[in-house]
Amino acid sequence: MNPRTIGWLFGGLCCALGILTMIFAWDSGGADIALSLDRVGWDAMGDVGPNDSFMFAAVSLLVGMPTLVYLNATQWRNTGGY
């Protein structure tokens, strides 16, 4: 496997993990967000904030996105240009 293929796989995996983790990286004071909003309505929106997995999601996205952008921006060199 060449290094570019490994880079594509690494960047894609980092972005996928970051996006999936970011979905569950929000908390509202120890309770599930859906349950909190169901009980108190939109007043609970002020209590919503990042939980422990937020940093993992943010770092995964900050590593994966630039990797994919760089590999995409330099891909034309491997195909002989335009």
Whether residue 36 is predicted with pLDDT greater than 80 in this model: the reply is no
Q: In the Cβ-directed half-sphere of 8, how many Cα atoms lie within 13 Å? A: 10
Give the DSSP letter of residue 45: G
CA gap 2, 8 in Å, rounded: 10
30 pLDDT above the threshold of 80: no
Burial of 76 (0-12, 13-18, 19+ CB in 10 A): exposed
> Of the given ranges (3-7, 8-12, 38-42, 58-62), which has the lowest mean pLDDT?
38-42
> Is residue 43 predicted with pLDDT exceeding 70?
no
Q: Is pLDDT above 90 for 81?
A: no
Closest CA to 30 of 47, 13, 7, 53: 47
User: What does the block give as tokens for 33?
Assistant: 């967000």
Q: Which tokens go with 34?
A: 């859906």
Query: Mean pLDDT in the chain?
Result: 83
